[in-house]
Amino acid sequence: MLAVARAPLARRELAAMTALLLSYIWLWQDAFPGDFVVCVVLYATIGLSSHLRRGESAADVGFRLDNFLETAKWALWIVGPLLVLPILIGAWLGTLHFPAPRYWLSGFVEKFLWSTAQQYGLAAFYYRRLRELLPGNWTAIIAAAGCFSLFHLPNPLLTPVTFLAGIVSCWLYRKEPNLFVLGLAHALLALSISRSLPFEITFGMRVGPGFFSFLERLSADIVRSL
């Protein structure tokens, strides 16, 4: 009965978050100074208000350390091979382009924070709210992963990869909810893909209009090299 009562609220919250993210990606990103800050504030406001309405604590949604090692163990078994695969492909293609070690720490901290924010949206917001609307855990997992991949259109690599990775993330979250582990795994996988595979495959990890801008630059570079 409680889930039924929450269903209309969950629909409104999901609609608000989806409208925010899609409009930012496709319409008003880089439209004015501070646009990213505005998006982050609205993102956090929608999420925080959703948790407060349900009495969900930070630990409930996955901001916790008590189960870090247990979650990391599960993540290592599943995500570990996925981290190695792009590196092996990049080594075979001769396209590895990792930065010098002295640049790793500062860049990785930023990537970890950004990745954790994305995993929060995927697992702690979309998956949790979709569980209130859809029957069965796997239905909610697949729906949440579908939403996650939606935000990576039209990149032909990231769209399917984020769908599959979203399923893995939500499954791990269901077993042991820890957003720090999921954020770390996301950051490592993104680093492995972006620094191992050629730009012709990753398209600079761009999504939305940025994908088309990158594609134009890539095409121009190819023409100039002929």
Average model confidence (pLDDT) across the chain: 92
* pLDDT value, residue 223: 65
pLDDT at 69 over 90: yes
Please indicate whether residue 45 or residue 80 has the higher confidence score (pLDDT). 45
Please report which confidence band the pLDDT of residue 222 belongs to, taking 50, 70 and 90 as the band edges.
Answer: low
Which long-range contacts does 128-131 make (Cβ < 8 Å, 24+ apart)?
Answer: 128/56, 128/61, 129/10, 129/13, 129/14, 129/50, 130/10, 130/14, 131/3
Q: What is the pLDDT of residues 44-54, one digit of tens each?
A: 999 999 999 99
Q: What is the dihedral of CA 64, 69, 72, 74, to 10 degrees?
A: -110
pLDDT at 61 over 50: yes
Is the entire prediction scored with pTM above 0.85?
A: yes
pLDDT at 225 over 70: no
Q: What is the pLDDT of residues 169-202, one digit of tens each?
A: 999 999 999 999 999 999 999 999 999 999 999 9
Dihedral sign (CA 144, 146, 149, 154): negative
Provide the percentage of residues in the chain whose pLDDT is more than 70: 92
* pLDDT value, residue 2: 47
3-state helix, strand, coil in the chain (%, to 5): 80, 0, 20
- Please give the structure tokens belonging to residue 134: 């859809």
